[in-house]
Structure 1
Amino acid sequence: MKFGIIDFMMASLQVAFIVMKLCGAISWSWWLVMLPILLVVVFNVLLLLLFVCAEKYKSHLLFKQYGTDNKLAIRLKKMQQERENLMKQKNK
């Protein structure tokens, strides 16, 4: 997994907030101190849900179009369609 600039900034901010809280420099509640990491977790969970929903939708579309979501069966149907098209073109 790549560790980008946004990840670095959020991790640095998180460490800074925890150190300031433990040293008594800020009197925030712990949920505010932990907010940067919570935002990252929530964002990643939302991305995961979006990915899962997109895959399910893609599977639904394949099932609707080909009657199955099995990749091998879909490939076989496509090959059969191509063969039929070639035979039609050859007979013309």
Structure 2
Amino acid sequence: MCYDRLTDEGVAEMRLRDLVASELRCSLRNGGMAGVMVLAVLLVQGASALLLLASVVGAVALGAVLHQCVFVAGALVQRGRVRVGGSAEDSPLESA
């Protein structure tokens, strides 16, 4: 996940649609890494081509969707912090 993007002060003001679009490349990269791992394991196990293809496509899709869900959840937490009265700079994410 792009931690730097969540700690950016503008994350609280951007529309969710724009945030998701800005993370598309990172989410597909993470999904691709999941697909490569699944591919390696299934090749070693000698899985059939159909199972291999379906599993890799599923891993890429699930990895990308999971990345986007975690990112959106983090962005919503940041928005909530700003609305409650703090700023994005007061977030514990900054102090870690």
TM-score band by shorter chain is 0.3 to 0.5
TM-score by length of 2: 0.43
Structure number with higher relative contact order (C-alpha < 8 Å, ≥ 6 residues apart): 2
For the pair shown, which has the larger CA radius of gyration, 1 or 2? 1
